[in-house]
Amino acid sequence: MPRITPTTTENTNRPLVSDLMEKHSSKIQKVREKIQNHEFYFADLYDDIWILRFILSHKGAVDKAVKAAKHTMEFRHKYKLNEVGDIRAKIFDHESIDEPQAFPVYKMAHDCMERNSMMECLPDPDRGVVVYTMIKGIKMQKVVDDFTSDDLFTMYMYNNEAIQQINDEITRRTGKLTKMIRIMDATNFNFSELSFAYLRKDTAVNRLLEDCYPQSLGAFLMVNPPSWVSRVYKMFQPLLPKRFNEKFSLVSPLENQRDVKQFLRFVSEENLPERYGGRSKVWPPPYAGARFK
């Protein structure tokens, strides 16, 4: 199987926020000076840690960080995200899909996949969110047929918001920059089940949200991909966000022990399911939202 590995790497140990703040203090100040007169700027919401994520995401380029920060403030105002409050308990969860507080688009998404095809977990309260997706269980054509682009945007927006709230709280409490890992399992997924219309719609929506959730994604691992997956990925690679491509890998952890290390940057061996080279026998893993109810 052709191997694709990230063009950038992160240390297994998450960097300390205090070290990052010190290193980028002058750039944080420059960004603040350029955004503080914006009509949607609020000092208590958009603090130094919030600004730091934009600087890291744009590799220290102040003007790009400023542009993304202003866009995000406008985005958050438009969709009233500062008013939604704590929605960590409302992260997508098959177990709570019928509860009154569940977002309506979550029910739509639930109907477009087999149960436990997308599981958003927090196995360690002091590390980031782990998202498991079983590709074979996603009814791609049904997503294309049932979801408008606005529906999919709303689904992804609220889910990204919940994930970022969880990881931001962990970052501030532990003092370590915390990100999520997405694990997409392609076991037994056939080319005939792939919908290019779904890929185009999914890619377009993710590009719209990319700048609004900086430093959210730590890694995106596709597990046990069929040989044809690498060809499809190379076809769509130019359309995908640059930062996504930097963090994307094709891995086979049960065949290659080195691949297991990519998981362990984000989840401990004790909490990593056996099917991915870890020691946990629990499957499906418990949803993250249960911790916050």
Task: Print the SS3 string covering 177-213.
Answer: CCCEEEEEECCCCCHHHCCHHHHHHHHHHHHHHHHHC
- My answer on whether 192 and 110 are in the same domain is yes
- Looking at the fold, whether 56 and 118 belong to one and the same domain comes out as no
Q: Which of 48, 78, 108 is the last residue of a domain?
A: 78
124 and 248 share a domain? yes
Q: Is residue 12 part of a domain?
A: no
Order the strands of the 130-134 sheet from edge to edge: 118-121, 130-134, 180-185, 217-223, 248-251
Q: Which of 33, 51, 78 is the last residue of a domain?
A: 78
Query: Are 37 and 98 in the same domain?
Result: no
Domain count, the chain: 2
Residues 129 and 187 in one domain: yes
Instruction: Please indicate, yes or no, if residue 173 is contained in any of the structural domains.
Output: yes
Residues, the chain: 293
Summarised one tens digit per residue, pLDDT across range 105-120 is 999 999 999 999 999 9
Residue 83 lies in a domain: no
Binned at pLDDT 50, 70 and 90, residue 94 comes out as confident
**Token reading at 53:** 């994520």
Predicted confidence at residue 221, as pLDDT, reads 96
- Is the confidence at residue 40, as pLDDT, over 80? yes
Q: Determine how β-strand 130-134 pairs with β-strand 118-121.
A: antiparallel
The pTM assigned to this predicted structure is 0.91
Distance CA 96, CA 204 (A): 28
Q: What does the block give as tokens for 270?
A: 């004790």
Domain's final residue, options 25, 54, 78 = 78
Say whether both 63 and 102 belong to one domain. Answer: no
Write out the residue range of the structural domain in which residue 71 sits: 17-78
Question: Does residue 198 contact residue 143 with C-beta atoms inside 8 Å?
Answer: yes
CATH of residue 45: 1.10.8
273 SS3 class: strand
- Taking residue 52's Cβ as centre, other Cβ atoms within 10 Å add up to 24
Does residue 2 sit within a domain?
Answer: no
**Could you give the count of Cα atoms lying within 13 Å of 7 in the half-sphere of its Cβ?**
5
- Taking only the tens place, the pLDDT of each residue in 223-241 is 999 988 888 888 888 877 7
